[in-house]
Amino acid sequence: MKALRQTLSWLIPVAIGLIIALLVKQFSFQLVKVDGPSMQPNLQNNERVVAVKTSKIHRGSVVVFDANGVDPQVSQTTDYVKRVIALPGDTVEAKNGYIYVNGKKTNQSYISKYQRTTGTGNWTLASISEENNWMKNMGATKVPKGMYFVLGDHRSVSNDSRYWGFVPKNKIVGVVKVGFWSSSTKQHKYNVNQLWKHYFTGN
C-alpha cells in the first residue's frame, strides 16, 4: 500500500501536467516550422514560430493556415505562413509599388522596393481572379465575408492569394509570433509581431 501511495504521489502530478500541456496546445498555441522562403526576409526557412490561436487577426498580421482546400495543388493538411493584407469586406489592389486597402495606401516598409514593385505587380481582385482562374470567387471586387486575402513577404516567389484566392477563417490556425529564442533581428521580429499596429503608415 505504501509503495502504491508513493507511486501515485509522482504519477498523478505528471498526469495532470501532461493533460494541462495538451489542453494548452489544443486551445491556446501551436509551434510551427516555416517551410520555404516565401516570408523572407522577416521569417526564414525552417524557422520555428508560435501560432497563437486566441489572437485577433488584423490587417498586417502574419498567420498560419491549412492550405488543404485553399490551394488547389494541396491535397493534405499543409501549413502555410502568410501575411494578411485585407479583411472580410475590404477592397484591395496593387498599383505602382503600393498596395491599397479600401483606397488607403498601406505600410510596406517590411519588404524591399523590388518586392513592392516587380515582385507584387499591378492588379485588382477582379483582374487576378480571372488571370489565374480562381476556382472560387471569380471576378470578386471585395474580400468575401469570413475570408482573408494573404500575401507572402517574398512576393516574387510566394504562392499566395494572388494565385488561388481567399483563405476561409476556419482554415486559420493562429496568428504568428516570433519567440524570444529566435535569432531574427529586432526589426524582423517587429515586422512579424507588431507591424499591424501601423498598417496604414510608414511607407
The residue from 53, 55, 82, 186 that is catalytic is 82
Annotation marks residue 38 as catalytic: yes
Query: By C-alpha distance, which of 106, 95, 111, 105 is closest to 157?
Result: 111
What secondary structure, in 3-state letters, does the chain show?
CHHHHHHHHHHHHHHHHHHHHHHHHHHCEEEEECCCCCCCCCCCCCCEEEEECCCCCCCCCEEEEECECCECCCCCCCEEEEEEEECCCCCEEEECCEEEECCEECCCCCCCHHHHCCCCCCEEHHHHHHHCCCCCCCCCCCCCCCEEEEECCCCCCCCCHHHHCCEEHHHEEEEEECCCCCCCCHHHHHHHHCHHHHCCCCC
Among 28, 33, 38, 161, the one annotated catalytic: 38
User: Which residues are known to be catalytic?
Assistant: 38, 82
